Structure 1
Amino acid sequence: MKLRAIFSVCAVILLAVSCHKAPAPNPKPTTPPAKPKPAAKTVTESPLENSQINENALGSNSFSGKSVDDLNREETLQDVYFDFDKSALTSSTRDELAKHAEWLNQHPSVKIVIEGHCDERGTEQYNMALGDRRATSVKNYLISLGILSTRMRTISYGELRPKVQGHGEWAWSQNRRCHFVIVEK
């Protein structure tokens, strides 16, 4: 019975993801409002002056010759993690997201999907909702850093796609995350 429920949820998610691909042409006409980018850049540059950013990931030369799959394999945008049963951003999560915003501002054509994930504790329904809150929290913070909402989508996988298999605190802490997938370069 649980497999049927998991299959049903996966089918719905797959259908939802498939449906989101059709509206992709709509954001292209809205690219002219990209003029606010310089203002957003100056806002995000000041907190990042002293932070250490992976130069390989940020360099334009490393970006131009790579496919979307290459960028995702290299985890150009690192996962961010959450406390148990929380969707609030910690200070370290905000610091990491500031680095993501800097990279996204340097690559304005990139579009991403923000995946919300949970550990195995809690019901499937609760974890799907929690994963959604986590992904939405990350998206809203990136918007506050100047990233256009049209460049980001969110999806929740709840507990369905664990990063680490296991039933202990370390495994659970690795599964309470938002994962970033670059879908367009």
Structure 2
Amino acid sequence: MLEQEKPSWAKAMINLLLEAKAAVEAGETLTSDAIACFAARYDRILEVGRLEDAKQNPPIEQPTGKRGKPKQSKPKNLLDRLGEHRLAVLTFLCDLSVPFDNNQAERDVRMVKVQQKISGTFRSEQGAKVFFRIRSYISTAKKQAHSIIDAIEQAIRGKPFMLPTQNP
């Protein structure tokens, strides 16, 4: 989006988020003042973006002959999502167990896409279910810092590792 539309606020947002990521990765828990500072800068960038978008894409007052609201620009849609999901975007600042990005989720899905590309599809619904169950088990084992080979061996022997249960 940044490369296509080139809104100036987008570069500022990228820099802010990368700076916040670096601060979190430095290993020290951020103070509430530091978190508030990042959040305030985030809000200011969104406001600048909204003003910039309003200047570049003024609302159409004349009827276009189509029902519903006029189509928004892609930068405006992104601004709206960043504003609506502000808490989710900035959660990594307060909760160190929340990753900055969703790369792990993308890696989990990538194997499915590779399998679809190679064979085109699954031969049966049951085959797809087995594939997903195995991939899920391997992914969970990796996330829980288990050896994948050991986890598979335990599963074959009928003793799969179990996640600890949490009491409410």
TM-score range, shorter chain: under 0.3
Give the number of the structure with larger relative contact order, counting CA–CA contacts within 8 Å between residues 6 or more apart. Answer: 1
TM-score (norm 1): 0.23
TM-score (norm 2): 0.24
Higher helix share: 2
Higher strand share: 1
Answer with 1 or 2: which has the greater Rg.
Answer: 2
